Amino acid sequence: MSNEIKTGIPLIGERMPEVEVQTTHGLKNIPKDYEGKWLVLFSHPGDFTPVCTTEFVAFAKRADEFKKLNAELVGHSIDQVFSHIKWVQWIEEKLDTKIPFPVIADDMGRVAMKLGMIHPGKGTNTVRAVFIIDPKGIIRLMIYYPQEIGRQIDEVLRALKALQISDEKKVAMPENWPNNEILKDKVIIPPPKDVATAEERMKNAEGYDWWFTYKSL
């Protein structure tokens, strides 16, 4: 069997590659150690950088909200573990924010290469990637930002909530749910797959047409 590391951005719907990693909370096996839970894995370009620091503080302040959704946070960069430890200590001391989640020390770049985090023109630093992985270890959502732009952590939280409700209720979520300009907090009923159902849809559903109906949760 080849030991070559598969590189490139994975696809939504693929299983998260199995990796054993060193973190600030000890060795972790991802996604195996998080079976039965949602996992939010996010990368940052480097420790002791201003934009990354603001993101870590935002993730930390929302950590309890993620936990309420049965989700665990895991950070990642190519820095060594001692750098991570010192940085999270600095954040707690200077910004009065404790970082409650583990941070992967991917100093050999194995995880970064497997998940397509190394992009042209950025050297060995990782882009700002986010992976939402479901309790079965399947990648359900990916977001990639350049180094120059910080993420909005509330959007990651919103996307996680939307995925969970979509799975449970078998519905689709409109733009900016639950604050859509047209539907507010209502959700979209999947379109019919046959003529008979299409003809019946508007008789018992609220909407604009048979292919565009919605309901309250």
Mean pLDDT for 31-49 is: 97
Q: CA-CA distance, 115 to 106, in Å (whole number)?
A: 12
The residue whose two tokens read 């996010």 is 42
Residues 114 and 23 in one domain: yes
Is 92:99 a contact under the CB 8 Å cutoff? Answer: yes
Query: Which of 74-78, 95-99, 107-111, 177-181 is least confident?
Result: 107-111
Encoded tokens for 195: 């003529």
Residue ranges making up the domain that contains 45: 19-151
Q: Please give the model's pTM, rounded to 2 decimal places.
A: 0.92
Q: CA-CA distance, 57 to 165, in Å (whole number)?
A: 27
**How sure is the predictor about 168, in pLDDT bands with cuts at 50, 70 and 90?**
very high
Q: CA-CA distance, 133 to 160, in Å (whole number)?
A: 10
> Is residue 2 predicted with pLDDT exceeding 50?
no
Q: CA-CA distance, 141 to 167, in Å (whole number)?
A: 13
More confident residue, 74 or 120: 74
Residues 100 and 195 in one domain: no
Tally of structural domains, the chain: 2
Residues 115 and 194 in one domain: no
Q: What angle, 0 to 180 degrees and rounded to 10, lies between the N-to-C axes of helices 50-61 and 153-169?
A: 40
The residue annotated as part of the active site, out of 21, 30, 40, 52, is: 52
pLDDT computed for residue 132 by the predictor: 98
Q: Is residue 204 one of the residues assigned to a domain?
A: yes
Q: Is 54 exposed, middle or buried (0-12, 13-18, 19+ CB in 10 A)?
A: middle
What CATH number does residue 63 fall under?
3.40.30.10
Mean pLDDT for 173-180 is: 98
Is 111:19 a contact under the CB 8 Å cutoff? Answer: yes
Q: Is residue 156 one of the residues assigned to a domain?
A: no
Strands 212-215 and 71-77, how do they pair?
unpaired
Q: Is residue 170 among the annotated active site residues?
A: no
Mean pLDDT for 147-163 is: 97
Q: Is residue 164 one of the residues assigned to a domain?
A: no
Residues 117 and 194 in one domain: no
Residues 35 and 62 in one domain: yes
Residues 174 and 111 in one domain: no
Residues 32 and 137 in one domain: yes
pLDDT computed for residue 7 by the predictor: 62
Residues 6+ apart with CB under 8 A from 32: 18, 137
Q: CA-CA distance, 120 to 10, in Å (whole number)?
A: 17
More confident residue, 91 or 125: 91
CA nearest neighbour of 127 among 85, 87, 78: 78
Q: Is residue 161 one of the residues assigned to a domain?
A: no
pLDDT computed for residue 3 by the predictor: 47
